[in-house]
Every structure is written in structure tokens, then in C-alpha cells.
Amino acid sequence: MLLAASLFFYAYGEPRFVFVLLLSVAVNYAGALAIDHISQNKKQKNKHDETDKQDHPTCNKTDYTACHPTSNKTYHTSCNSPCNPPTEGRHGLSKAPNDALRRLVFLSIIAADLGLLFLCKYLGFILRLVGCAGLTVSAGRLGSLVLSEIPLPLGISFFTFQAISYVADVYRGDVKAQKNPFLAALYIMFFPQLIAGPIVRYRTVEEQLILNERRHIDIDRFGHGAKRFLGGLFKKVLLANRLSALADAPFSLASFTLAPPAYLWLSSLAYSLQIFFDFSGYSDMAIGLGEMFGFRFAENFDAPYTAANVTDFWRRWHISLSAFFKDYVYIPLGGSRKGRGAQLRNLFIVWLLTGIWHGANTNFVLWGLAYFLVLAVEKLLARPWERGRTFRVFWRVCTLVFVNMQWVVFHADGVKQVLSYLAAMCGLSSVGAAAGSAGLCAALFGFFGGSLTGVDAGFDMVLSALRENWAFLLAGIVFCLPLKRLMLKRKSLRIFADTQNAAASSTEGAYGGALPPEKMETAGRPAGEVMRGCLLVGVYGALFLWTISYLLLGSHNPFIYFHF
């Protein structure tokens, strides 16, 4: 049922690429089975060898003679005692060692996955770089298709990486291959996280693919999942969509120099909030939907803008993607175990690939390399976690400023636009000389009732932006904080913390077994808990109606993932 729903979901949005998705599923399913089969044969061989060694302790296990012409038995030359006939692949009799065959199958599957991703996402970018963007394919129905404009299947970066993680875990022996093709397909194609993540590891959901004691659906789990889904929907529609107008506004100007730096900084702040609520909103919706169907997915964002340094930021931002590159690229390359030179090389490779993964654009490559440079300085030189409090506070501020400026690189279209925007932000323009930090102060003064007489007209842009968006900017800043942890620390907010604890307890009860029926009955609950529940339903209901009205009446509903 869930697999059929997932197919329908993808086909509704991308009917042309359903077969691309199914092909990816089939290739990775078959490849994982082949790797697992070869691994099982290797284990049986090793077990057989160990048995022979125990039966013939004085013999070298590789010291065999050929079978006697008149007998089907094989003899040890050292003790002249019969042993079991060797199976294929034992004692050098196979044509290819098991390890080499496993590696060949694994690399072939990875090459197929990355080849599909390269064809759909990066071929046009490469051709543009070499000046061959006009080259066309003349075979079959692709006759008039320009390679630089190959359409990108929705979610291909996510489901490709998820499939790679599955095959890699099977190859490393962390999990066994899923023999049921429908369950393997459900793992890769499950619709809540198919197009926007998080990247789910197979070992975390292996026992949840079928309804059992680890995955079951009850009213408490369904309700908690629905609340999580609605929270993600509110983030996306009420905050990310609303902030996108301010974030995009400077890019509609003829030149960034027409806006004061204060306006550009305000716009970049809006985009930093927008991209967080967009990405984390989709992750929350995926986690919530998964929980409604009995799945438990790992968290993908953990208040990243409260990070103490850039390393900490990437432990909190898009956690599943960071973990993927760490576990399947950085650590296999050697991590930090082979000296500083090797660590720098590994960091460079990881961040180059991270930038490329986000999009086929020079901006993303520069974005990744900038993170490499800062992380190299942070890990090898600055090491803020070993410094005093003053330096740690300074580094925290630097981290926020750097991350904010990096989102400008993400947002802009082309390197030239990036450089122009950053230069204007720093006041390197005719307007910037007169509209620096004093401009922001004047705008704030005017916003709170002061006079802007004699102030440059550029300040009116900042004032107007603040008047129109102050509530959403403030809400965005507040909801970037780890509110749940903060509320649990404040006795004055205990009423709200108790509500969160009740929800968490019900979830834990759902995972460990259904709660007793008497505890699920409203009549048996304290009156205060019932009132808080009713208040929560009212708040979520009002926000939901607001969200629906915004979707129906609003004309601006950006989907940032389309850029990637």
C-alpha cells in the first residue's frame, strides 16, 4: 500500500521519470543481493576451512593433492587422511577471489548510480565548461534535446545517495540485503522523504519496513506525527515563503549598488532564515509523515544557527547529508588518522563533492571550497573549542556572519552576481559610502517613531522592509532557537514543557508498546492536561487555516530544492 502510494506520489509530480526511479531501485536491489550472496559464500568457505583445520590440525590447509583418479575424495598430503571435497572458490581453485568479485560488483553499482546522477545533473554543466553546450543527441527521441538542458528528475540526488548508502552498508557487512523487492523499493521510494530528504540509512529502518513490534500505528503516534508534520508545514508556508519576498528583492534591482548595505544584509538574513525553515520544514514534514505510518526517522536539523563554530554548524545542519559524506567519503579516505596533509586532502575532497552535490553550478563549487578553507583553519589553527570564553564568543559571531555570507553564494546566480552582492554588502559602492551601519541605525530610529528627514532615500528601503517583515523576521529568529530545551530549563514555562513531555512520553510508549487503554482515555487525564490539549488543537487549527488561506491566495510559493 505504501509502495503504491509512493509511486503515485512521484508519478503525479514527475511522470516522465518514474522509470528512472524504478531502474535505480532495480539496479541497487540486484546489486545488493549479488554482494550479499558472494559474502555468504565467503563465510561458508571460511567456516569450511576452519572445520578442515580442526579435523587435520597437523596439516597446512592449503596443502592438498589432486583427487585420486579412482576416488572422489581429496587427501591431505601431510597426514594422508581424507577430507571433504573442496567447494568452488576454496584453496585457490576459483577463477576470481570472493573479495575481488564483491568489490567489482560494488564498484559497478556505485558507478551506475553516479553515472545516472552525472547524466541527469552534471553533463550539461561539464559541456558548458568546455564550450560544447550546443552539442545535441541524435539518437531516438532525444534527437532535439540539448545536452545542457537535460531535465532533472525530482529528488535524484536524495534517492541516489540513499541507494548508495544501502549498497555500501551491505558491502561492508553492516546489514544484510533485503530479499523482498517490494520492501527494498519501499525503502528507497518511501514518499515522505523521497524528494527532499532526510537521507535515511537502511539499518535504521530495516526492522520497520513491515508492521511488527518495532513499527506499529496507534493514535498517540499518529497524533504526534501529525503535529510534527503541521509544524513543518507552518515553517515552510508561514515563515519560509513569507521571508522569500524580502530575500529575493535585491535580485530584482538593476544593480545591487542601488540598495544600501543595510538592506542587503537584511535581505541576506531573510534568506538565511528562509533556507533554514524551507529545508527543516520539509524534514519535519517527512519525519512527521513517517511517524504517522509507524516509521521513526532520525532528526535532520538541530538549531544550527546556535552553533559555536563551523564544525558544530555542520553537526547540526542537514545532519543526514553530513553523516553520509563523513561515513562514506571522509572516513574511508582516512579521515584525520594519517596526518595533517592527508586530513587536508580528505577535507578538500569532501567539500568539493558537497558543493557539487548541491548543484551543477560554479557557485556551489566555490561555496564548498570556501567551507573547506574555513574548516581547515578552524581544525588546524584556530581550534576555538580549546580557547578561552572571549575567543569562543568571537568565533561564534564570526561563524554566523560567515554562514550568512555563504548563503549569498548559494542564492546568487553566477560568480559575477556573488561578487557584486558581497561588494555592495561591504559598502564598496557609491551608495555604500553613505549608507553603512549608520543607515541601519537611522532606519531603526525611523521605524520606532523617529524622523527620517534628510536621510538618503535608500534608507526608506530598509525602513519599508522592516515595517513589512519585522514580525516574520522576529519569529524566524525565535524559532531558530532550541525552544524545547530552553522551555524545559525555565520553571516559568513549565506548562508548555509539560505538554511537550506528555507528547514525548506518548511517543516513547508507542515505540515500546501501546499505552494502557485507561491512560489513553480523556476522562482519566487531569483537567489541566485536557485544557492544554484543547488549546493546542485550537492553535494548530488556526495556524492550519492560515496556512491553507496563504496557499490558496498567495502567489509566491518558491521550492528551493528545484535549484539543487
**What is the C-alpha to C-alpha distance for residues 341 and 380, in angstroms, rounded to an integer?**
11
Using CA atoms, how far residue 377 sits from 166, 224, 374, 411, in Å, is: 34, 42, 5, 25
Is 358 an annotated catalytic residue? yes
Q: Where are the alpha helices (DSSP H) in 359-414?
A: 362-377, 389-411
Residues 6 or more apart whose CB falls under 8 angstroms from that of 512 comprise none
DSSP code at position 292: H
**Contact present, 362 and 418 (Cβ < 8 Å):** no
Tell me the CB-side half-sphere exposure of residue 63, using CA atoms within 13 A.
12
SS3 content of the chain, % helix, strand, coil (to 5): 70, 0, 30
Question: What are residue 64's DSSP bridge partners?
Answer: 76
Q: For residues 85 and 91, what is the distance between their CA atoms, to the nearest angstrom?
A: 11
Give start and end residues of each alpha helix (H) in 260-302: 261-292
* CA distances in angstroms from 294 to 198, 207, 309, listed in the order given: 16, 11, 36
DSSP assignment, residue 303?
-
Amino acid at 167: V
Catalytic member of 224, 318, 358, 411: 358
Which helix (DSSP H) or strand (DSSP E) does residue 425 occupy? Answer: helix 415-425
Helices and strands per DSSP (H, E), number in the chain: 22, 2
- Facing residues of 74 across strands? 83
Distance CA 412, CA 417 (A): 6
Instruction: Report the distance separating Cα 410 and Cα 58, nearest Å.
Output: 67
Task: Just list the catalytic residues.
Answer: 358
